[in-house]
């Protein structure tokens, strides 16, 4: 048995509307890496600025690169009849599978996720991101957020797991069809109909009542994940016993899935969805300038005397938001209160040297101000243009004061007027979803209105 360890870079998060900009594949024969392959790809669409900031891949680099179709035969030979492995495998597999479908081929190889394997082999870690696991296992990542750099790190991680815990890898291969874990009253024919696409899904009981609403990048994999494993909490045991049917609505993007899931939970209040409760303690993201002139960020509890840039339900949510902003705008984790040592010590490629004064305050602060500006924009009325559910379609979402108030799917590339969209009830949680994603969206897809 051979394994194809894959990493890709893309123009965005949706396999339906996004394109691939770089692919790396390493072939592992169960003992060692026996072949390496990589190439830049012309995605035949614009690469957003925040993606260039994250990966270093810009439009000029891929202008003369081959298209996916031009390398498809060579790539197919590498992947066919091998186990497809990646860190968060559904992301990489979804993009490549979609690209093959566009040229009339369907990739159906077995796949393994090194995130899931790592949870079993290295239990108890606070995070299972590639960077954090490799840091824990002292595996170097020579070029973070580039396909070959991340692929080699994933290959070294997999090599360690298959040699130390081959039983975990083999048992995962046997189980990854998921059919053995279906609920007792859920038909296999229905399971095979579940799409491997992004959307919202509804679990129904024998009376046809919705008992659970969820969202997923891959609905089939997420449904399978509800019932996988040997031990289930009591509530999941009850859910498994009750569910007899599944319905779904595709959304085209993860952001739309999150928003729609929130609206549907508030509308239906299914028995197995935890109620959304407001915490008593709020956390804030604060900003100040240090003695050397660099902008700094800090997460702390909100008090009546200090006004934060943003508020959060928990410190974990605040830190996740800050980390996403750091990656998107190439800021420094040390200057943002998330790390005590300089970024050079752990080879963090996001930081450009501000924590050791290798970058001027002016250059660093320009990116920090862009991050702050995007946070402030999210508090104004705005409309987002997001990928649709099919080619030629877009999802338009209108936010008033940060909360979703209207949305529609339209076959139009131009922003409509707000009153052309369907009105939905305002749900406070949509404000926090918008804030989490706003700085990941290309500015061309945002239309800002007057402040609420």
**What are the tens digits of pLDDT across the range 234-265?**
677 788 889 999 999 999 999 999 999 999 99
pLDDT at 452: 45
Calculate the CA 327 to chain-centre distance: 13
The average pLDDT across 374-385 equals 83
User: What is the fold of 179-268?
Assistant: GIY-YIG endonuclease (3.40.1440)
Residues 360, 361, 362, CA angle at the centre, nearest 5°? 90
d(CA 147, CA 130): 13
Question: Mean pLDDT score of the chain, rounded to an integer?
Answer: 88
Residue 380 pLDDT > 80: no
d(CA 10, CA 93): 12
> Binning pLDDT at 50, 70 and 90, where does residue 7 land?
very high
Count the Cβ atoms, other than its own, within 10 Å of residue 8: 22
Q: Give residue limits of the domains in the chain.
A: 3-175, 179-268, 283-377, 382-448
> Binning pLDDT at 50, 70 and 90, where does residue 175 land?
low
The answer regarding whether domain 3-175 maps to CATH 3.30.420.10 reads: yes
The helix or strand, by DSSP H or E, that contains position 158, with its residue range, turns out to be helix 147-164
Q: Half-sphere exposure of residue 152, counting CA atoms within 13 Å on the CB side?
A: 13
Polymer length of the chain:
452
pLDDT at 435: 76
pLDDT at 277: 46
pLDDT, tens digit, for every residue of 103-149? 999 888 889 999 989 998 999 888 888 888 998 889 888 877 899 99
Residue 252 near residue 395, CB atoms below 8 Å: yes
Residue 382 near residue 448, CB atoms below 8 Å: yes
Q: Determine if the pTM surpasses 0.85.
A: no
d(CA 200, CA 257): 6
DSSP 372-399: HHHHHHTTS-EEEEEE-SSTT-EEEEEE
pLDDT at 419: 92
Count the Cβ atoms, other than its own, within 10 Å of residue 288: 9
pLDDT at 406: 96
The helix or strand, by DSSP H or E, that contains position 234, with its residue range, turns out to be helix 234-242
pLDDT, tens digit, for every residue of 285-336? 999 999 999 999 999 998 877 788 888 878 888 899 899 999 889 999 999 9
Phi, psi of 119 (to 5 degrees): -60, -30
* Fold agreement between 3-175 and 179-268: no
pLDDT at 182: 77
Q: What percent of the chain has pLDDT over 90?
A: 54
Task: Order across the sheet with 283-289: list the strands.
Answer: 295-301, 283-289, 310-312
State both tokens at 138. 């002292």
Residues known to be catalytic: 145
pLDDT, tens digit, for every residue of 53-75? 888 999 999 999 999 999 999 99
- Residue among 126, 70, 115 at smallest CA distance from 93: 115
Q: What percent of the chain has pLDDT over 70?
A: 94
């Amino acid at each position: 048995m051979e394994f194809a360890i894959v990493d890709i870079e893309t123009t965005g998060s949706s396999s339906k509307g996004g394109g691939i900009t770089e692919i790396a594949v390493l072939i592992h024969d169960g003992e060692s890496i026996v072949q390496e392959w990589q190439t830049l790809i012309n995605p035949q669409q614009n690469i957003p600025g925040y993606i260039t900031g994250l990966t270093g891949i810009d439009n000029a680099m891929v202008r003369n690169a081959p298209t996916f179709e031009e390398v498809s035969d060579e790539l197919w030979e590498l992947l066919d009849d091998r186990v497809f492995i990646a860190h968060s495998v559904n992301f990489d597999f979804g993009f490549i599978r979609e690209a093959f479908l566009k040229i009339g081929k369907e990739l159906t190889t077995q796949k393994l996720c090194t995130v899931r394997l790592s949870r079993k082999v290295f239990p108890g870690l606070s995070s299972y991101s590639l960077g954090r696991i490799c840091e824990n296992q002292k595996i170097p990542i020579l070029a973070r957020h580039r396909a070959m750099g991340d692929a080699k790190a994933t290959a070294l991680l997999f090599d360690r797991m298959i040699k130390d815990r081959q039983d975990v890898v083999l048992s995962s291969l046997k189980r990854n069809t998921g059919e053995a874990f279906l609920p007792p009253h859920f038909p296999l024919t229905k399971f095979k109909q579940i799409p491997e696409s992004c959307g919202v899904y509804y679990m129904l009981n024998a009376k046809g009542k919705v008992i659970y609403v969820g969202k997923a990048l891959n609905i089939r994999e997420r449904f399978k994940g509800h019932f996988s494993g040997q031990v289930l909490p009591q509530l999941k045991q009850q859910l498994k016993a009750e569910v007899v049917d599944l319905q779904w609505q595709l959304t085209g993007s993860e952001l739309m899935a999150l928003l729609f899931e929130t609206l549907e939970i508030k509308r239906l209040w299914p028995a197995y969805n935890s109620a959304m409760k407001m915490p008593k303690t709020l956390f804030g993201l604060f900003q100040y300038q240090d003695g050397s002139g660099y902008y700094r960020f800090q997460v702390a509890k909100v008090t009546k005397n200090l006004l934060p840039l943003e508020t959060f339900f928990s410190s974990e949510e605040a830190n996740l938001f800050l980390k996403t902003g750091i990656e998107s705008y190439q800021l420094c984790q040390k200057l943002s209160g998330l790390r005590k040592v300089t970024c050079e010590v752990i080879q963090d490629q996001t930081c450009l040297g501000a924590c050791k004064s290798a970058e001027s305050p002016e250059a660093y602060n320009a990116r920090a101000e862009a991050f702050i500006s995007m946070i402030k924009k999210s508090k104004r009325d705005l409309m987002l243009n997001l990928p649709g559910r099919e080619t030629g379609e877009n999802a338009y979402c209108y936010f008033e004061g940060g909360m979703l108030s209207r949305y529609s799917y339209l076959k139009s590339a131009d922003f409509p007027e707000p009153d052309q969209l369907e009105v939905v009830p305002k749900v406070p949680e949509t404000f926090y979803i918008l804030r989490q994603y706003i700085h990941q969206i290309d500015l061309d897809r945002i239309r800002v209105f007057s402040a609420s």
